[in-house]
Amino acid sequence: MNRIYFIIILLLFNSFVYLNKNNYQLAVLKYQGGGDWYSNPSSLKNLAIFCNENLNTNINPEYAIVEVGSTEIYNYPFIHMTGHGNVYFNEFESKNLRNYLLGGGFLHIDDNYGMDIYVRSEMKKVFPELDFIEITKNHKIYNMKYKFKNGLPKIHAHDNKNSQAFGLIKQGRLICLYTYECDLGDGWEDINVHQNSFEKREQALKMGANIIEYVMTYN
């Protein structure tokens, strides 16, 4: 019964993506655990506008909010997750997120600060058989419209660590991108929020556009 349910959901999801590949709406993932999943409230709006202006996409600037265990997750080919601190997925949520990602969905996790230990433990529930691997500077995601010859840009400094990108790859497909010590989402926010320089904000938006273009091209 569960297998039949998954196949139906998968077919519906793939049909939705096919019909809406030129009419995207991005979504923010609402999770349990107490972490502030609602951080950076203006970031996805600004990223959508930047992509529409520079990639000729048709992304709705008004993003959705979806819970990990909701069937509504299948309406959105790209889901963004951020925050500070604790993240928790229960068993049902882990299975639902797994089915979403196996069915063609994409999850971008952007560690605002303090998420690393929780992201790794909870995504292990989703894919026990996978480990995060580093996405090095020669990956296609850094070589879409905008070229990042040094890999993931550093937008905000926290612990004087280098910015890194990690991914979960299933059957050759990047299904989850985890950006760490970077704060891309802060760079996407309204310019008056974090007082980023024009150059830093532009870097963040261009890298975000590359992620969106990659998902639309290869997922």
pLDDT at position 21 over 90: no
What is d(CA 101, CA 66) in angstroms, rounded to the nearest whole number? Answer: 14
pLDDT at position 159 over 80: no
What is d(CA 143, CA 155) in angstroms, rounded to the nearest whole number? Answer: 19
Name the percent of the chain lying above pLDDT 90.
Answer: 79
Q: In what order do the strands lie in the sheet with 78-84?
A: 60-67, 25-30, 78-84, 106-113, 173-180, 164-170, 133-134
pLDDT at position 44 over 50: yes
pLDDT at position 193 over 90: no
Amino acid at 41: P
Which pLDDT score, from 0 to 100, does residue 16 have? 45
Polymer length in residues for the chain = 219
> What confidence tier does 195 reach under pLDDT thresholds 50, 70, 90?
confident
Phi-psi region of 124 (alpha: psi -120 to 50; beta: other; left: phi over 0): alpha
Closest to 134 (Cα-Cα) out of 158, 160, 162:
162
CATH match for 2-218 among 3.40.50.12140, 3.10.50.40, 3.30.70.3000, 3.40.50.2300? 3.40.50.12140
> What confidence tier does 115 reach under pLDDT thresholds 50, 70, 90?
very high
> What confidence tier does 196 reach under pLDDT thresholds 50, 70, 90?
confident
Amino acid at 109: I
- 60-112 residue pLDDT tens: 999 999 999 999 999 999 999 999 989 999 999 999 999 999 999 999 999 98
Which pLDDT score, from 0 to 100, does residue 120 have? 98
- 120-146 residue pLDDT tens: 999 999 999 999 999 999 999 999 999
What is the distance of C-alpha 75 from the center of its chain? Answer: 15
Phi, then psi, of 155 in degrees rounded to 5: -100, -50
Q: Exposure of 75 by Cβ count < 10 A (0-12 exposed, 13-18 middle, 19+ buried)? A: middle
> What confidence tier does 17 reach under pLDDT thresholds 50, 70, 90?
very low
